[in-house]
Amino acid sequence: MSNSRDLHGLAQLVRDGRRYWASPAGQTLWRAERACLGPVCERLFGRHSLELGMAPVLSDICPIRHALSWAPTREMAAHDATLVCPPDGLPLADDSVSLVVIHHLLEVVPDPHHMLQEAARVTADDGRLIIFGWYPLSAGGLSRAWPGRRERMPGRGRWRTPGRLGDWLTFVDFEIDRVDYCGFHLPGGQPRNAMLETLGRRHNLPLGDSYMILARRRTQLVQPQRPGFELASPLMGPTLGSATRIGTPRAARCEKASLG
């Protein structure tokens, strides 16, 4: 995502997404997701958080000192503490962020695997990675079969189940702690029914329009060293037991606003 055409397409995508999240339907779902995030955020602490998405920031309710947001261009940056860069090339050091939130971006960006890889790279070993996604088996997901729904927000892109994203997280050495669902409504309606939302969240029914995945880095088991013999010559190539974290820092090709 390095040329001007890709950047222009990404900027237009974010503009379309911001219009949806500013609509009554988007605001209603945003409030439901914020309520879903609240109990999780209460237990999260650290120096920096980062949210990648098109909606107003959700994670500012977390007790983390410095909250960063993201934008694809400088003109779209909301404030000084905004990273201006492609979402798959974050200008941050490894293990530098206590909380990373990906909010409904993996469905629509051109390279979701690299984006997730970058988010995992910058998440601290004791930090958390939170992913909000659209649930394809919900009432909203099934309504995407209607003509025209896949051409406009929020129906655009590829919706994936939490199980599928669990496979992706395993690839970047993360594991799912929990999955919560939100945005409950009847087919053809909007997620504005407080009773359905309360009932769905209480029993965590897999029927909401969106889900929230809370993930952490997988615990690496330490292999005990055994007393043994010495080899006459060293082994060629990587030896058993060594590992390199997926997602090494790439060359800085992003522009960064002040980190505050």
Q: What is the tens place of the pLDDT at every residue in 217-242?
A: 987 654 545 544 443 444 344 332 33
Reported as a pLDDT band with limits 50, 70 and 90, residue 96 is very high
3-state secondary structure at position 36: helix
Amino acid residing at 260: G
H helices of the chain, in order, are 4-22, 24-41, 112-122, 139-142, 162-171, 194-202
pLDDT at 142: 79
Percent of the chain at pLDDT above 70? Answer: 80
Domains recognised in the chain with CATH numbers = 2-217 (3.40.50.150)
Q: What is the pLDDT of residue 257?
A: 47
How many CA atoms lie within 13 Å of 167's alpha carbon, on the beta-carbon side?
A: 4
Q: Is residue 210 a contact partner of residue 29, using CB atoms and an 8 Å limit?
A: yes
- 59 within 8 A of 22, measured Cβ to Cβ: no
pLDDT (average), residues 158-165: 95
Structure confidence at residue 112 as a pLDDT band (50, 70, 90) = very high
Across the range 96-115, mean pLDDT stands at 96
Indicate if the pLDDT at residue 196 is higher than 80: yes
Predicted TM-score (pTM) of this structure:
0.81
DSSP string, 104-131: S-TTTSS-HHHHHHHHHHHEEEEEEEEE
pLDDT at 238: 38
Please give the pLDDT value at position 189. 63
Residues 6+ apart with CB under 8 A from 192: 28, 185
pLDDT exceeds cutoff 70 at 62:
yes
Q: Average pLDDT for residues 112-134, to the nearest whole number?
A: 96
43 band by pLDDT with thresholds 50, 70 and 90: confident
Give yes or no for residue 176 having a pLDDT over 50: yes
Query: What mean pLDDT do residues 32-54 have?
Result: 92
* Mean pLDDT along residues 12-16: 94
Q: Which residue has the tokens 């949806």?
A: 20
Instruction: Give the residue, 19 or 44, on which the prediction is more confident.
Output: 19
* Residue-level pLDDT at 248: 43
